[in-house]
Amino acid sequence: MFHAKKEGRFSAGRFVALLLSVVLVASTGLGLAACGGSTPAPTSGTASSGSGSSGAATEPAAAVELQIFAANSLERALPEVQALYTAENPNVSFADSQFKGSGDLVTELEGGAPADILITASSATMDTAVENGNIDEATRSNMFQNDLIIVKQAGSSVTISSLSDVNGSAISKVAIGDADAVPAGSYANQSLFTIGLYSAESGKGGEYLEGFADKVVIQSSVGNVAKTVATGDAQIGFVYTSDLYRYDDIEQAFVVPADTHKNIVYPGAVVASSAHASEADRFLEFCLTNPDALRIWAQYGFEVAAS
């Protein structure tokens, strides 16, 4: 036994050397990557033609990094608009934007996660953030409108011709967002309330009708709802129109009548603790007015709010 272990020290030396070299290689690689990433942006103060009413680009532009917390449904469209903004304002870059259920984002913000901009998928979640004192209320405005739809897996034979078909015999699993964290879930519940399948009008804190409750699959974000339907784990799910355009393998089955749920609006606002409040506000304005940004929203199915 001891003979064997004597070898130990030699191996130890080799092992440590190996480990060290790996660390060295890794850190060099990372160092290079970091250098590439944080190249200070040239500060050309050229006011782009598209900035529209954002105006005031006269002061010398200092490098700014904005952190955005946005509703999960914006995951594909918003980064494109961010890229557009960076192309026109090279001094502004974006940290990895967080796309989660609006409720989760509000909780994280309250928990101290640093952010500059919050865009939620319902007025109620934004109201909570305002009550928590995390939002600069003066900057709040409605950014987008969306529709609630029922989706099915691409090529599925399921047909939904009215809301009550949701509880039809052909349906065994319905994916719905968790109403506490996912606004799409509470909108869906509001609609289900109108046909007696959910017990609370507000879409939150209620119960699903017995018999229907067994069919409901609760998901933590509207993206997960779409994904559950795309994989066929649920036959149908409640998502936004805009979700169609960011997922493959799902198809629109039914547009939920707009009068069965609250108006779906996405409020956006600057976070109270933001160190770059004016830049953040300028970006929000850009989102709503820049004609190239409007193209992106239109393609992803986000209707820019009238006011």
Partner 1 sequence: MRNRLKLTARTILVLIVMVSTTLLMPFSAQAAEEAEELTLDASGSAAALEGVSFAVDGFARNNKGTARAYAGEDIGYRYPLAGRGAFVVVALEDELLIYLPEETNASFGLDFSQDTAAQTQLLTLLFALDEANSNGGITLEQLDLPAVFTHSDTVAHRGCLIRFGVEVEPGYYYVTVTAEADALPAPDTARQASFVETGLLVPADTLTIQTAPEGLDALTDFLTNMDYRPFWVSLRTSLTAMIFVFVLGLAAARFSLKVSEHVKDVLDAVFTIPMVLPPTVIGFLLLVVFGNSTDFGRWLIDHGIELVFSWPAAVIAATVVAFPLLYRTARGAFEAQDANMLDAARTLGWGEGRIFFKLMLPLAWPSIAAGTVLAFARAMGEFGATLFVAGNYAGVTQTMPIAIYFQWMGGRSDVATFWVFVVILISFVVILFINLYARHTQKFRLGTTARKERSTGEEQEEEDVERESLERSVRDTGEERSGP
Q: Residues 64, 121, 124, 227: which binds partner 1 (CB under 8 A)?
A: 227
- Name the DSSP letter for residue 94: E
Residue 134 touching partner 1 (CB under 8 A): no
Q: Residues 17, 21, 26, 55: which binds partner 1 (CB under 8 A)?
A: 26
From CA 130, how far away is CA 118, in angstroms rounded? Answer: 11
Whether residue 103 contacts residue 204, with contact meaning beta carbons closer than 8 Å, is answered with no
From CA 3, how far away is CA 11, in angstroms rounded? Answer: 14
Enumerate residues 6+ apart whose C-beta is below 8 A from 219: 175, 176, 177, 178, 182, 185, 225, 228, 237
The least CB distance from residue 214 to partner 1, in Å, is 25
User: Which one, 115 or 166, has the nearer CB to partner 1?
Assistant: 115
User: Which one, 31 or 45, has the nearer CB to partner 1?
Assistant: 31
From CA 192, how far away is CA 198, in angstroms rounded? Answer: 5
The least CB distance from residue 248 to partner 1, in Å, is 7
Residue 36 touching partner 1 (CB under 8 A): no
User: Which one, 31 or 196, has the nearer CB to partner 1?
Assistant: 31
HEC letters along 102-123: HHHHHHHHHCCCCCCEEECCCH
User: Which one, 19 or 47, has the nearer CB to partner 1?
Assistant: 19
From CA 211, how far away is CA 197, in angstroms rounded? Answer: 9
From CA 256, how far away is CA 239, in angstroms rounded? Answer: 10
Residue 301 touching partner 1 (CB under 8 A): yes
Contact segment (CB under 8 A) with partner 1 among 9-17, 83-91, 162-170, 195-203 equals 9-17
Position 159, amino acid: T
Residues 138-167 within binding reach of partner 1 (CB under 8 A): 151, 154
From CA 113, how far away is CA 199, in angstroms rounded? Answer: 34
User: Which one, 19 or 62, has the nearer CB to partner 1?
Assistant: 19
Residues 234-293 within binding reach of partner 1 (CB under 8 A): 241-242, 244-252, 288, 291
- Name the DSSP letter for residue 46: P
Q: Residues 65, 80, 108, 285: which binds partner 1 (CB under 8 A)?
A: 108
From CA 120, how far away is CA 102, in angstroms rounded? Answer: 5
> One symbol per residue from 61 to 100: x for binding partner 1 (CB under 8 A), - otherwise; what is it?
--------------xx------------------xx-xx-
Give residues in contact with partner 1 (CB under 8 A): 2-12, 15, 19, 22-23, 26-27, 29-30, 33, 37, 49, 52-53, 75-76, 95-96, 98-99, 108, 110-114, 151, 154, 221, 223-224, 226-227, 230, 241-242, 244-252, 288, 291, 294-295, 297-307
